[in-house]
Amino acid sequence: MSARTVATRAANWFTPAIAFARIAWLRTVLYLFVIVDMHAFVRDTRLKGEHPGLYQPLLLARMFDLPKPTVFNTTALYVVLIAACLVGASNYFPRIAGWIVAPAFTWWVLIGMSDGKVDHDHLALVIALWVLPTVKAGRRGRASYNDQARSESAGWVIRCVQICVIATYFLSAIAKLRSAGWALTWPGSAVLTWAIVRRPHPVGEWLLHHPWMLHVMQWVGITAEFLSPVILWLKGRWQLFGALFFLGFHAANTAILLIHFLPTVVCWLAFAPMERIVPWFQRRRASDSDAGEAEDQAEHGREAKEQAGA
């Protein structure tokens, strides 16, 4: 294989052809999720506008010389974000709305995390918001959810989100090596005991009496994190198993550490062939009506199925 072929294959890996419908679903889910996030997770941004006492701007905020949070600018940010998210989620004018949401939400999170504590669950979501508006919409509004036309620009967006989801796990494993001076001491350490002592709750306190279980969890966790990039190359059912494993991993983390990582979890949808939702639904409905119509719908379904695994 020549070097040129390798380069072409690598470039093609970043830009698979994927149906516009998946982008449409992702837009709706993520823009609505941003609204949830603003109220449930990064929810103290407006409060920081009222009490900027502990404000300590992060690198990006300093680079762009972003103003200190005030009641006025955080309230304006809130209103603009809600409006732009609702428009973007409708898939009408999704690119204009998207180009507003991306910088506005980045700023929102920058303020929310400018108090000495940074969370690591927002990478995939923030990057998703920045790449989504790069796709020129095919069909608009309701029709977009069944737009089976495939595009490489859509595929690039999906790939970027997938990479960021996986990077969240893989890079956590790297951080665990780095913090030990590039040594593998984390899985045998008392880190989960430490975490539970600081955030006590019934499940955790029971586990404190069985440190070996915590060590098993640490080994399983770091091994999975190291192997996570494999998921990018898995197909179909195997990829689904990989995704379900990590969703289970988050369920366990939520039970033991009270850490949910929902902003990353929601981005796993980039792996899901959501372009099949409407054909599936139509097929189900068609099976209730006459046979000729059903055949017609089944044809649509096959078309969508061919795109699975991208």
Partner 1 sequence: MTVVTDGQERAGDVRLGRVGRGVRVAVALVGIGLLINGSVRASDDAWPFGPMSQYAMSVPDDASITYTRISAQTDAGTTVDVPLNIEGAGVARAEIEARTGEIVKDPSLLQQVADGWAKKHPDKPKYVKLELIRDTTQLVKGRVVGPPTPAVLATWEVRR
Site for partner 1 in 105-134 (CB under 8 A): 106, 109-110, 113, 115-120, 122-123, 126-127, 134
Binding range to partner 1, per CB under 8 A, among 72-80, 81-89, 150-158, 237-245: 150-158
Which residue reads 């404000």 in tokens? 55
List the interface residues with partner 1, window 220-259 (CB under 8 A): 257, 259
Give the nearest distance from C-beta 219 to partner 1 in angstroms: 13
* One of 91, 144, 146, 168 touching partner 1 (CB under 8 A): 168
298 lines the binding site for partner 1 (CB under 8 A) = no
Nearest CB to partner 1, comparing residues 18 and 87: 18
Give the nearest distance from C-beta 169 to partner 1 in angstroms: 8
Binding range to partner 1, per CB under 8 A, among 74-82, 86-94, 179-187, 286-294: 179-187
List the interface residues with partner 1, window 63-92 (CB under 8 A): none
Nearest CB to partner 1, comparing residues 83 and 118: 118
Nearest CB to partner 1, comparing residues 93 and 186: 186
Binding range to partner 1, per CB under 8 A, among 22-30, 85-93, 163-171, 242-250: 163-171
Longest CA–CA separation in the chain, Å: 69
Give the nearest distance from C-beta 298 to partner 1 in angstroms: 18
Nearest CB to partner 1, comparing residues 52 and 294: 52
Binding range to partner 1, per CB under 8 A, among 53-61, 93-101, 236-244, 279-287: 53-61
Give the nearest distance from C-beta 287 to partner 1 in angstroms: 27
